[in-house]
Chain A
Amino acid sequence: MSAAPDHTPTMAAVALGERLAKAAPLLLVPVLVLAGYLAIGTTSSWLTLTVSGLAMGMMIFIMASGLTLVFGLMDVINFGHGAFISVGAFVGISVLLSLGAWTGAPSLALNVGAVMLAVFAAMVVTGLLGWGFERVIVRPVYGAHLKQILVTVGGLIVIEQMIHVIWGPDEIFLTRPEMLKGAVTFAGAAIEKYRLLAVAVGLVLFVLMRVVFRHTKVGLIVRAGVENGEMVQALGYRLRLVFVGVFIAGSALAGLGGVMWGLYQEVITAGMGEEMMILVFIVVIIGGLGSVEGAFIGALLVGLTQNYVAFLAPKLALISNIGLMTVILMWRPQGMLPVVKAK
């Protein structure tokens, strides 16, 4: 009997380069902000642009998070997600407009109350709509990507046209509640109050999501389901129920994003969801399908890039997002933090 071969385990520390490569996606946002500062030069405009970029990014993240999870969990790609954004915006803004007395009053409590009501109504309606959408449109076509894409595009058109039927064909203009108008001045830069609110809401939601995903049982099941759905089912969890829940929550978040985007733009159209979907897709792709963290980073990158480029070279702003996507995909073809294995 020969002796066992020598086995000398080496325990080298992870090289700096490798560590950097792992952390690179997380570092991208600060690097981009810094690069923006160097390119723009003046602190005040840089600050304004950064805040508006972050605000835009947060709103896109709210809309994108549901989509990426739905894909990760059930391998369903929902092109109809944009419809929830539009519906959310129309429901929410209708509630706001009907509460004119509350939004017009210069009282923070009444204003916030009106916005909360609007958001609540929008989320309930889009959540219910998402539930119906999942049952009627998506359920019969599980496992068939081609049909999913076709059918959900059909759903998007139908819902969008129904908005036209219900609310009429014209865009609706609105003004923000009294206390959310105007800007605060900080270090010489004018920063719109509403943008600060959007950043705050986005951050709170992101932290909340992380807490749910990392520290609750439901979050654990969802994460495990994204990683390996069959195994989770084999362990006795009804992944379908979890999935329906995630679909509803994702739709409700899209509705929330729609209300916030409507208030941000101060105009809503039935086609807004479709337009936002393009940004949402870019975010989901560069973040890595199925990854909430990736979508968060991706959304911030998209928001910041768009604002910086629009300031530095307005002509290029139209294609800045495509450019960003190209660069990221050249660097990481699967997106920055892919969770789902390539299928």
Chain B
Amino acid sequence: MKILAGDRPRSTVLTLILLVILICLALAPFLFPGVRSLETAARICIFIVLVASYDLLLGYTGIVSFAHTMFFGLGAYGVALASVHMERGFGALAVGTVAGAVAAALLALVIGLFSLRVRAIFFAMITLAVASAVAVLVSQLSAITGGEDGLNYSIPRELTPAFRLGEVAGVRINGKLLNYYLVFGSSLMLVLLLLRIVNSPFGRVLQAIRENDFRAEAVGYRVVWYRVTATCLSAAVAALAGSLFAIWLRYVGPDTVLSFEIMLDILLMVVIGGMGTIYGAVVGATIFVLAQNYLQTLMGSAAEAVAGVPLLPDLLNPDRWLLWLGVLFILSVYFFPTGIVGRLRGKA
């Protein structure tokens, strides 16, 4: 229990779900062979980290940020730029990862000092403005960032499919597999780290601030300092997730790492999973990514099935995926505010 920082799932069903997710992700290449399922598994790992880091901000500190994809993008572009400009190798990955995380933390510090000093609600608006400005900058400065096309780059050979090691239980052990385990291992460690952070005395203070910032200030905690620190930590972890994503995809572009749509996905994952639990991020991200990958196909066939009816095909068009996300989002904030984890814990 020490590894979970003393914060057990506190529900039998939840424990089982978490164990299933952990085992499936750990053995994904062997349980679900195939390129598509491996892509999905890696995506789930990365989004778990990203959403958990957002949960530190939204669920534990009670701050809404719309710049989380910006930090995610900083990490991804850090790795991409380092890989483009440096020699192929692990050095480039390390430099890019560290640079991305540091840049994200610094930017978060500046934004936090500007907006959180006055009132937390400024933060939501200012992050929205800054994130959109950064997204525009990235797509305009094509000389550096590759613009809308993004950047392709090579990663160390040991992490690519070309690097072969043999076969185990009918599954080819190659660089792609090593790459997956790099992603999986790092994600696991980052989630455990976040769990450690939120269950530390520091995390307690954050929750106190979330519940009543005025009182926390009165008790003697410097609310601004705690909020800014949480913002920086969350930004740095998001950047690390971005780096993992960049290492996995071998490509970055504004649409894949910076778009507002990803921000909405993150929000939805946190809310569905359960705010302020970290475990919620794990459950939410897993369900959501699976749904995203397989439900859109279903919507397409549903739209074809009702082709004759007016308006319905338009509503069920896979491009209108966001519409249903929005509806789901509103409904879950109203009727399901504690998310899946909250419900499961409530029953236990």
Chain B residues 40 to 96 lying within 8 A of chain A, measured CB to CB, are 58, 62, 64
Q: CB-nearest residue of chain A relative to B328?
A: A154
Q: CB-nearest residue of chain A relative to B331?
A: A154
- Contact between B326 and A154, CB atoms less than 8 A apart: yes
B124 at the interface (CB under 8 A from A): yes
- Contact between A164 and B320, CB atoms less than 8 A apart: yes
Chain A residues 311 to 343 lying within 8 A of chain B, measured CB to CB, are 318-319, 321-322, 325-326, 329-330, 333-334, 342-343
Q: What residues of chain B lie closer than 8 Å to A325, measured between beta carbons?
A: 126, 129
Q: CB-nearest residue of chain A relative to B59?
A: A146
B293 at the interface (CB under 8 A from A): no
Q: What residues of chain B lie closer than 8 Å to A141, measured between beta carbons?
A: 333-334
Known contacts A278-B128, A285-B126; is-contact A321 B133 (Cβ 8 Å):
yes
**Separation of A156 and B128 alpha carbons in the complex (Å):** 14
Choose among A155, A275, A322 the residue with the greatest number of B CB atoms under 10 Å from its CB.
A322
- Contact between B119 and A343, CB atoms less than 8 A apart: yes
A151 at the interface (CB under 8 A from B): yes
Chain B residues 325 to 342 lying within 8 A of chain A, measured CB to CB, are 325-327, 329-330, 333-334, 337
User: Which single member of A147, A274, A275, A318 contacts B333 (CB below 8 Å)?
Assistant: A147
B323 at the interface (CB under 8 A from A): yes
A20 at the interface (CB under 8 A from B): no
- Contact between A150 and B133, CB atoms less than 8 A apart: no
Q: Could you mark each residue 115-146 of chain B with 1 if its beta carbon is under 8 Å from any beta carbon of chain A, else 0?
A: 10111111011101110110011001000000
Q: CB-nearest residue of chain B relative to A152?
A: B330
A153 at the interface (CB under 8 A from B): yes
**Separation of A158 and B260 alpha carbons in the complex (Å):** 15
- Contact between B118 and A165, CB atoms less than 8 A apart: no
A238 at the interface (CB under 8 A from B): no
- Contact between B64 and A149, CB atoms less than 8 A apart: yes
User: Which single member of A149, A157, A278, A333 contacts B132 (CB below 8 Å)?
Assistant: A278
> Which size bracket describes the interface of A in this complex?
35 or more
Main secondary structure of the interface of B (DSSP, over half): helix
- Contact between B119 and A285, CB atoms less than 8 A apart: no
- Contact between B329 and A77, CB atoms less than 8 A apart: no
- Contact between B334 and A151, CB atoms less than 8 A apart: yes
Chain A residues 160 to 182 lying within 8 A of chain B, measured CB to CB, are 161-162, 164-165, 169
Q: What residues of chain A lie closer than 8 Å to B136, measured between beta carbons?
A: 318
Q: CB-nearest residue of chain B relative to A147?
A: B333
Which of B29-37, B235-243, B311-319 makes up part of the contact surface?
A: B311-319
- Contact between A322 and B140, CB atoms less than 8 A apart: no
Q: What residues of chain A lie closer than 8 Å to B133, measured between beta carbons?
A: 278, 318-319, 321-322
User: Which single member of B62, B129, B267 contacts A282 (CB below 8 Å)?
Assistant: B129
- Contact between A158 and B327, CB atoms less than 8 A apart: yes
Known contacts A147-B333, A155-B330, A165-B314; is-contact A285 B122 (Cβ 8 Å):
yes
Main secondary structure of the interface of A (DSSP, over half): helix
Q: What residues of chain A lie closer than 8 Å to B20, measured between beta carbons?
A: none
Q: What residues of chain B lie closer than 8 Å to A275, measured between beta carbons?
A: 132
- Contact between A165 and B326, CB atoms less than 8 A apart: no
Chain A residues 9 to 23 lying within 8 A of chain B, measured CB to CB, are none
Q: What residues of chain B lie closer than 8 Å to A164, measured between beta carbons?
A: 319-320, 323
- Contact between A329 and B329, CB atoms less than 8 A apart: no
A284 at the interface (CB under 8 A from B): yes
A140 at the interface (CB under 8 A from B): yes
Q: Could you mark each residue 130-155 of chain A with 1 if its beta carbon is under 8 Å from any beta carbon of chain B, else 0?
A: 00000001001100011101110111
- Can you add 15 more A-B contacts, CB < 8 Å, to A161-B326, A322-B133? A77-B124, A77-B125, A79-B124, A145-B64, A145-B121, A146-B62, A154-B326, A155-B330, A156-B326, A164-B320, A164-B323, A165-B311, A284-B125, A325-B126, A330-B114
The 4 closest A-B pairs by CB, nearest first: A157-B326, A161-B323, A154-B330, A158-B326
Which residues of B are at the interface with A, using a C-beta cutoff of 8 A? Answer: 58, 62, 64, 114-115, 117-122, 124-126, 128-130, 132-133, 136-137, 140, 260, 264, 267, 271, 311, 314-315, 319-320, 322-323, 325-327, 329-330, 333-334, 337
List 27 interface pairs A-B (beta carbons < 8 Å), by A numbering: A77-B124, A137-B330, A149-B64, A150-B329, A153-B264, A153-B267, A154-B329, A155-B330, A157-B264, A157-B326, A157-B329, A158-B323, A158-B330, A161-B326, A162-B323, A164-B320, A164-B323, A165-B311, A165-B314, A165-B323, A281-B125, A281-B128, A318-B137, A329-B114, A329-B115, A333-B117, A342-B119
Which residues of A are at the interface with B, using a C-beta cutoff of 8 A? Answer: 77, 79, 137, 140-141, 145-147, 149-151, 153-158, 161-162, 164-165, 169, 274-275, 277-278, 281-282, 284-285, 318-319, 321-322, 325-326, 329-330, 333-334, 342-343
